[in-house]
């Protein structure tokens, strides 16, 4: 997958797609940083699961930026971040809908029985770990919170 993204840089250059080019170059840099942090050489290749983790981290950054720009009254900057976010999301698998998350959570709640309010965060964390890569953690948290009320 890392090679696919690197070849996308060349395609974005040819197409003169500056937004896509910037996003792909940023990803390439993030991959290099991830390799270095793992004690590998920059020329090495990341495993696909590490690539997905880097992409999810970049998606989270863009979502946070969009929220901050929107609340700060800068919709122009939020639009730029949204364009980058939509490009990044093309590399992620399709995410579960709220209804699918709710169905999954209902099964887990039924299996767990009565959930102690002091252990609710641990319970939600367990569900988020099971759905990593399939659903957004914030969405899972909000759905489970609603179900447990």
- The pLDDT score that the predictor gives to residue 138 is 86
- Residue 92: per-residue pLDDT: 87
Please give the distance of CA 17 from its chain centroid, rounded to a whole number: 23
The pTM is what? 0.75
Mean pLDDT by 10 residues, the chain (149 residues): 91 96 96 95 91 93 95 95 95 89 92 85 91 86 88
Residue 73, pLDDT score: 95
Q: In the block, which residue shows the tokens 């709220």?
A: 98
Q: Please report, for residues 16, 34, 107, 133, the alpha-carbon distance to residue 57 in angstroms, rounded to integers and kept in the order given.
A: 26, 11, 28, 11
Phi, psi of 43 (to 5 degrees): -80, -10
**Tokens (6 digits) for 88:** 């990044």
Domains along the chain with CATH numbers: 2-89 (1.10.1510.10), 98-148 (1.10.10)
Q: What is the pLDDT of residue 64?
A: 95
Q: Return the pLDDT at 95.
A: 85
The per-residue pLDDT for 137 is: 86
């Amino acid at each position: 997958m890392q090679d696919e993204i690197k070849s996308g840089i060349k395609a974005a250059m040819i197409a003169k797609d500056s937004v896509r080019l910037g996003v792909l170059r940023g990803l390439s840099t993030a991959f290099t940083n991830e390799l270095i942090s793992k004690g590998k050489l920059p020329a090495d290749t990341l495993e696909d699961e590490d690539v997905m983790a880097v992409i999810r981290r970049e998606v989270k950054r863009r979502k946070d930026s969009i929220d901050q720009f929107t609340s700060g009254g800068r919709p122009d900057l939020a639009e730029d971040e949204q364009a980058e976010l939509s490009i990044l999301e093309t590399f992620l698998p399709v995410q579960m809908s709220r209804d699918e998350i709710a169905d999954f959570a209902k099964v887990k709640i039924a299996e767990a029985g009565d959930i102690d309010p002091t252990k609710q965060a641990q319970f939600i964390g367990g569900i988020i770990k099971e759905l990593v890569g399939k659903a957004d953690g914030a969405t899972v948290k909000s759905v489970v919170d609603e179900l447990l009320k």
